[in-house]
Amino acid sequence: MKRIFIILSALTSTLIAFAHDNDGKWSINYGLWTYLDSTSVASSLDMLDKYPEPGTAAFLLDEYVYFAAKIERDTPRGIEAVLDAKIGGDTILSRFNEALGAPISKGSFPELYKLLLGMKETAGTLATMHAKRHYQRIRPFVYYKESTMTPESEEALMKDGSYPSGHACMFWAISLVLQEVCPERQVDIMRRGYEGGRSRLIVGAHWYSDVVAGRLLASTIVARLHAHQDFIEQLEKAKNEFKYKQYGK
């Protein structure tokens, strides 16, 4: 018992040190560096209506979009959808390189990298967690007893509620912030964020209403972050860094 206590104490000290070094909130529940935590983030369960039930007009739309999106699987867009499914670590940031016109990495834009890495799970995990846990909505591929384009992820997806979409929330939140950093490429950036959410429909991991709800929560969480001092300061650093490195200003 004493040995376990010592190990836990050392682990806790490490987490606290990590949080201090990154000037942000540390979510012990998830082991993620985020600007907010599970108690300070607004509850998605309170903000969202319940997902569409079978037999309703809204669910008919969910069904229509599911089967329409399947048509794109055997196209180049399907390949892009599979790539968009990979969001671990900083992988999702690279999905915006083309839209931004510059590589997003720790080496190229360290301040921008830090900004986005700190907010991506604030959006993708914390902003969606309350509704996901409460509703535990069945995913479309399970409902129809079909496979997705990412079979390696299906077991994990079955254990994670479909509503709202964390991927869609994350993509849309990143695009909202990136267009502030580079307003000249706003259209390309926002389109990339939109398509990132649509990819979830193509691979078969989410319903249309999941994705719409994810984008709504993204807009809410980004607005909330603009009242968070650490985020505001880091955003300004990222803006200045990008202007200087890209345009020499």
Kindly list the catalytic residues. 167, 200, 206, 210
What is the DSSP code (8-state) at residue 206?
A: S
Cα–Cα nearest to 80, from 172, 176, 195, 174: 195
Alpha helices in 204-228 (DSSP H): 208-225
Instruction: Kindly report the number of other CB atoms within 10 A of residue 13's CB atom.
Output: 10
What is the DSSP code (8-state) at residue 122?
A: I
Distance CA 114, CA 179 (A): 16
214 alpha carbon, distance to own chain's centre? 9
Q: Are the CB atoms for 240 and 182 separated by under 8 Å? A: no
Alpha helices in the chain (DSSP H): 2-21, 44-47, 57-70, 76-84, 91-94, 97-100, 110-121, 129-135, 140-143, 154-158, 166-181, 186-203, 208-225, 229-247
Map residue 55 onto helix, strand or coil. Answer: coil
> Where would I find the beta strands (DSSP E) of 15-71?
25-27, 32-34
